[in-house]
Chains A and B, each alone.
Chain A
Amino acid sequence: MSQNLLEIQNLHKRFGQLEVLKGIDLTMRQGDVVSLIGSSGSGKTTLLRCVNLLEEYEEGVVAVEGEQIGYKQKGGKRVRLSEKEIARQRAMTGMAFQHFNLFPHMTAVRNVMLGLIKTRGMDKDEAHSIAEKWLERVGMLQRKDHFPGQLSGGQQQRVAIARAIAMNPKLMLFDEVTSALDPELVNEVLAVVLDLAKDGMTMLLVTHEMQFAHDVSNRVIFMQDGRIGEEGPPKELFKKPKSERLAAFLKSSKF
């Protein structure tokens, strides 16, 4: 396991009766950029959320750096980890959401500093300088004292990405980070993600932007009814889809 940064084996997830993930296997190495594509309801978001235990999973293993997320085996039984352990594990990954989810009562720079202080245990000065560094990286330094409500969607999303990245996660999870944005704001956010990818950040992202998935990833996974329908390097997957379903999906998403 030591080689793989993320290792998912036979992951199953149910919402009540509905089985949403039906046995997912996925591994990622350091520096991998993997895009999840697929039609609505195919389980992309759920898969992402199992990686940081925003969703509990019933069966299978999700492991980051060889450490199972959320549960441990004890006497042959699966036991949920303590609240503290789970919080520590969650901070191994970072996540950016479709709706940004910035803390509305804090300025941009405070948003970024909070985790650094409370989770990483930094003092205020250190947290502040790291927060400023990342805000500069996403082009938001001039707006650092603005509140989220005073920023455009694209600006909020860039702050949200800075908030996640500043924590120095081993793996970044992006869930349709441009879907809630006006068309003219999409590119400024995609540029930031691309920049991070070029820098070697390991990331798993869900996107409906096929061109972007093509450009940014070294592997693309097509999700289909809770399973991995097809996967491969973007050039192959987009140019020569093997299945009818993927071909139809790509056609409908105007790639």
Chain B
Amino acid sequence: MDYDFNFAAVWRDFDLLLSGLGLGILLALISIAIGCLIGLLAAFGMLSKRRAIRWISLSYVSAIRNTPILILILFTFFALPQLGIRLGKIESFIVTLSVYAGAYLTEVFRAGLVALPKGLREAGLTIGLTEFRTKLLITIPVMLRNVLPSLSNNFISLFKDTSLAAAIAVPELTFYARKINVETFRVIETWLVASLMYVVTCYVIAAVLRQVETRLAIPR
């Protein structure tokens, strides 16, 4: 193999890659936050006494989970404007990723809620809290702490999924890597650096989240 490695071209535009990485992290953060809200609502929906609400939640979860995420991204970006909903590419991607995250988190939260001892809710009620406050102060916080490890995994997946935003030209890491690749023809160098940036970032995120998990874990 006599490939001549030359990283100079990649280093020249490294700040672009970095800014792309920053945007990817930001997109993942915003999407998991919105996704948590959607997931919580849908999880309670799945456990609702009303059939219609259960049905709506279940339909949402199955529809999203059974559609490839790239299709969801393209659909939101290209099809919604036809219906009169016009979003910028970044906003469009955030909507998609949040809705996508929400569907997966629904399952996580639903399982977490079901696993709680039922006495927890009852203890809240007996000290005079309403059902709503019991959820807000007791069942949801306890459940969230219990599912923190799966939440972390979901976040890392979401971060990697931000690379698909390149498909609609959101200027994140993959988008810039492709741009540099096209402009410099340093194929191996560009994709090697981009890959390493993903790997290192995922590694760091995982390490940070493990710290957060231990700090927030319910002491025993």
Contact = CB atoms under 8 A, between A and B. Distances in A.
A104 B218 contact: yes
A153 to B, nearest CB: 14
A150 interface: yes
Interface string B115-129: 001011011111111
B137 A118 contact: yes
Contacts of B132: 83
Interface in B78-127: 117, 119-120, 122-127
B68 interface: no
Nearest to A97: B119
A95 B124 CA distance: 11
A102 B123 CA distance: 7
Given A101-B120, A114-B137, A147-B218, A90 B126 contact: yes
B122 A147 contact: no
A95 B126 contact: yes
Contacts of A114: 127, 129, 137
Interface in B112-168: 117, 119-120, 122-133, 137-138, 141-142, 145
Most chain B beta carbons < 10 A, residue from A83, A88, A105, A149: A105
Contacts of A119: 127-129
Contacts of A54: 122, 125-126
Interface residues of A, number: 31
A91 interface: yes
Nearest to A104: B218
Given A94-B126, A95-B126, A167-B127, A101 B141 contact: no
Interface string A107-118: 000000011001
Given A97-B119, A97-B123, A150-B219, A115 B131 contact: no
B49 interface: no
Nearest to B123: A101
B126 A118 contact: no
B220 interface: yes
Contact of B128 (A91, A97, A99, A101): A91
Nearest to A95: B126
A12 to B, nearest CB: 22
A44 interface: no
B125 A90 contact: yes
Given A105-B145, A147-B218, A84 B130 contact: yes
A5 interface: no
Interface string B192-220: 00000000000000000000000000111
Nearest to B120: A101
A115 B134 CA distance: 11
Nearest to B132: A83
A94 B127 CA distance: 7
A149 B219 contact: yes
A62 to B, nearest CB: 15
Contacts of A144: none
A95 B126 CA distance: 6
Contacts of A115: 127-129
Contacts of B129: 87, 114-115, 118-119
A164 B219 contact: no
11 contacts: A54-B126, A87-B129, A90-B126, A91-B127, A93-B126, A101-B120, A103-B124, A114-B127, A118-B128, A149-B219, A167-B127
Given A93-B126, A100-B119, A101-B123, 15 more contacts: A54-B126, A83-B131, A87-B129, A90-B127, A90-B128, A97-B119, A97-B122, A103-B138, A104-B218, A105-B145, A115-B129, A119-B127, A119-B128, A149-B219, A163-B127
